[in-house]
Amino acid sequence: MSAGSEDTVAQARSPRGLDATDRELIALLQRDGRASFAALAKAVGLSEGAVRQRVQRLLREDTMQIVAVTDPLIVDLARQAMVGIKVNGDLHQVADQVSALPDVHYVILCTGGFDLFAEIICRDDEHLLDVLNNGIRAIENVTDTETFVYLKLAKQTYAWGSPTEF
Amino acid sequence: MSAGSEDTVAQARSPRGLDATDRELIALLQRDGRASFAALAKAVGLSEGAVRQRVQRLLREDTMQIVAVTDPLIVDLARQAMVGIKVNGDLHQVADQVSALPDVHYVILCTGGFDLFAEIICRDDEHLLDVLNNGIRAIENVTDTETFVYLKLAKQTYAWGSPTEF
DNA sequence: AGTGAAACGACCGTAGA
DNA sequence: TCTACGGTCGTTTCACT
C-alpha cells in the first residue's frame, strides 16, 4: 500500500517567542487539558480573553496539542512496538518517509546505536509484520532495524516533574 | 537526591468494559481534547449528560488523560533521551523504580535487546548525566543501559491512523 | 445508565485602550 | 497585546424514566 506522500508532520510551525506566561499555561494544561480559560486566567493573572488568544496561538502554531492520550494496549487490545532504525545517508529524508506511514505515530532522530526510533501502533501481529516489512524496511537507505514489542506500559506522564495523579 | 517513593504511576485503574461509544469518544478526544460535551454528544448520538459521565469515568479510571503535549526540545530547550535498559531479575520491580524517578516520564516493558525503555526529560547535559548515573544505573538489577539522546522530534500524533494536522 | 429543563458559568465576538 | 462587555452556547444539578 502507498503511504500518503508527506502531508504528515512538522512539529511547531513557528517555534520562537515563548514567554514565561506561555510556559505557565502549557504547564497548567499538561496537568489538565480541559481547564477553563477562566481558571487559567486566574492562575496566570491575565484576562480570559488574553489567555484564550495565547492558548489558541499555541495550538494553531503546533507548539502544543491538547489531546486524549491512552494506553493502546488496554484501549484497543493493540500490538505496539518501538522500532530502532539504522540509516545510510540522509536522515531527514528517511525520517520523513517513516513519518508518512500512518501506523507510525512517534518518530525521533537520535544519537547512539540507532539513528531513528519509530513507535508504531497496530491491530495485531499480522499488521505489525506488514508495517515492518512493507513499510519501514522497504524504505531506501534503511540498513537495519530492531523491533521491541511492547509488553506493558509502566508510566506515561506529560506534566514534567510532577506525578500523573490528579 | 531521593526520588519520591512510589506514588508514581499505574496506568488504567479499572481497565475493563470499554464499549463502542467509549472508543468513539476517545477517538474524538484524540483529535481535539477540548471538544465540548455537546459536540461529542451529537457525534456519538447520546445526551450531553451521558457523554459527560462517560468522559469523566474514562478520566477518573485513568483509561485516558486529556493533556497538552509538546516538543520539549522546543518549548523547554531541554535535553531529552530514550534509555534502553537491560535487567537481571524481576522486571516489574525495576520498572517501578525507574518510574519513580521524576524526570522519567515514559516507561515501557518490551521484548528484544532491551527489557525496558525509559524516556527522560532533563534541563541540560549535567542533569541528564545525573539521572543516568545516580538514577537509572544506580537501581539494583540494572545490568546495562544505552542512551539515545534526542536530536529532533519528527512526528508526534495521538489520533492513531490520522494525521497530526489540526 | 440515560433524558430533559432551567440556572449558572464559560466562551467568543466586537470595540477600545 | 491586553481589557471590557454582552450575546450565545455549554455545563451542571435535579427530578424523572
pLDDT along chain A (166 residues), means of 10: 38 68 96 96 95 96 96 91 97 98 97 98 96 98 98 94 41
Are B109 and A163 within 8 A, CB to CB?
Answer: no
pLDDT at position B51: 97
Q: Which residue of B lies nearest to A17 if distances are taken between CA atoms?
A: B75
Q: What is the 3-state secondary structure (H, E, C) of chain A?
A: CCCCCCCCCCCCCCCCCCCHHHHHHHHHHHHCCCCCHHHHHHHHCCCHHHHHHHHHHHHHCCCEEEEEEECHHHHCCCEEEEEEEEECCCHHHHHHHHHHCCCEEEEEEECCCCCEEEEEEECCHHHHHHHHHHHHHHCCCEEEEEEEEEEEEEEECCCCCCCCCC
pLDDT at position B77: 83
**Residue A8 in contact with residue A141, Cβ under 8 Å?**
no
The shortest CB-CB distance from A111 to any of B111, B148, B165 is to B148
**Residue A144 in contact with residue A15, Cβ under 8 Å?**
no
What's the farthest any 2 CA atoms get from each other in chain A?
A: 54
Examine the pLDDT at B1 and tell me if it is beyond 90.
Answer: no
Q: Which residue of B lies nearest to A114 if distances are taken between CA atoms?
A: B148
Closest CA to A124 of A61, A86, A78, A157: A78
What span, in angstroms and rounded, lies between the C-alpha atoms of A60 and A30? 17
pLDDT at position A52: 96
Residue range B152-156: mean pLDDT, rounded: 97
**Residue A163 in contact with residue B100, Cβ under 8 Å?**
no
pLDDT at position A164: 37
- Banded model confidence at residue B39, pLDDT cuts 50, 70, 90: very high
- Banded model confidence at residue B13, pLDDT cuts 50, 70, 90: low
What span, in angstroms and rounded, lies between the C-alpha atoms of A94 and A85? 10
**Residue A11 in contact with residue B156, Cβ under 8 Å?**
yes
Domain with CATH 3.30.70.920 in chain B: 79-149
Instruction: Tell the CATH topology of B3-60.
Output: Arc Repressor Mutant, subunit A (1.10.10)
Residue B145: enclosing H or E segment and its boundaries?
strand B142-156
In chain C, which nucleotides are within 7 Å of a protein Cβ?
Answer: 1-5, 9-14
* Residue entry with cell 545517508: A89
- Give rounded-to-5 percent helix, strand, coil for chain B: 35, 25, 35
Residues of B in contact with A32 (CB under 8 A): 66-67
Chain mean position to CA A10: 11
pLDDT at position A16: 57
pLDDT at position B60: 94
Compute φ and ψ for B130, nearest 5 degrees. Answer: -65, -45
Compute φ and ψ for A157, nearest 5 degrees. Answer: -130, 155
Question: Is pLDDT larger for residue B77 or for residue B81?
Answer: B81
Nearest chain A CA: its distance from B141 CA (Å): 17
Closest CA to A158 of A19, A14, A26: A26
**Residue B28 in contact with residue B43, Cβ under 8 Å?**
yes
Residues of A in contact with B23 (CB under 8 A): 75-76
- To the question of domain B79-149 being in CATH 3.40.50.970, the answer is no
What span, in angstroms and rounded, lies between the C-alpha atoms of A63 and B128? 24
Alpha helices per DSSP H over B4-121: 20-31, 37-44, 48-60, 72-75, 91-99
Examine the pLDDT at B16 and tell me if it is beyond 70.
Answer: no
Residues making up chain A, counted from first to last: 166
- CB neighbour class for B131 (10 Å; exposed up to 12, middle 13-18, buried from 19): buried
Residue range B14-23: mean pLDDT, rounded: 80
Question: Is pLDDT larger for residue A2 or for residue B166?
Answer: A2
**How high is the mean pLDDT of chain B?**
89
Query: pTM above 0.85?
Result: yes
pLDDT-above-90 percentage for chain B: 82
Q: With an 8 Å Cβ cutoff, is B1 touching chain A?
A: no
Residue range B135-160: mean pLDDT, rounded: 96
pLDDT at position B7: 31
Helices and strands of chain B, counted as H and E runs: 6, 5
Domain with CATH 1.10.10.10 in chain B: 3-60
Examine the pLDDT at B53 and tell me if it is beyond 80.
Answer: yes
The integer distance in angstroms from the CA atom of B43 to the C1' atom of D10 is: 15
Question: Which whole-number Å values give the CA distances from A96 to A150, B56, B132, in the listed order?
Answer: 24, 37, 30
Residues of A in contact with B99 (CB under 8 A): 154-155
Residues of A in contact with B33 (CB under 8 A): 33-34, 65-68
pLDDT at position A1: 36
Nearest chain B CA: its distance from A58 CA (Å): 10
Residue B120: enclosing H or E segment and its boundaries?
strand B116-122
pLDDT at position B162: 52
pLDDT at position A67: 97
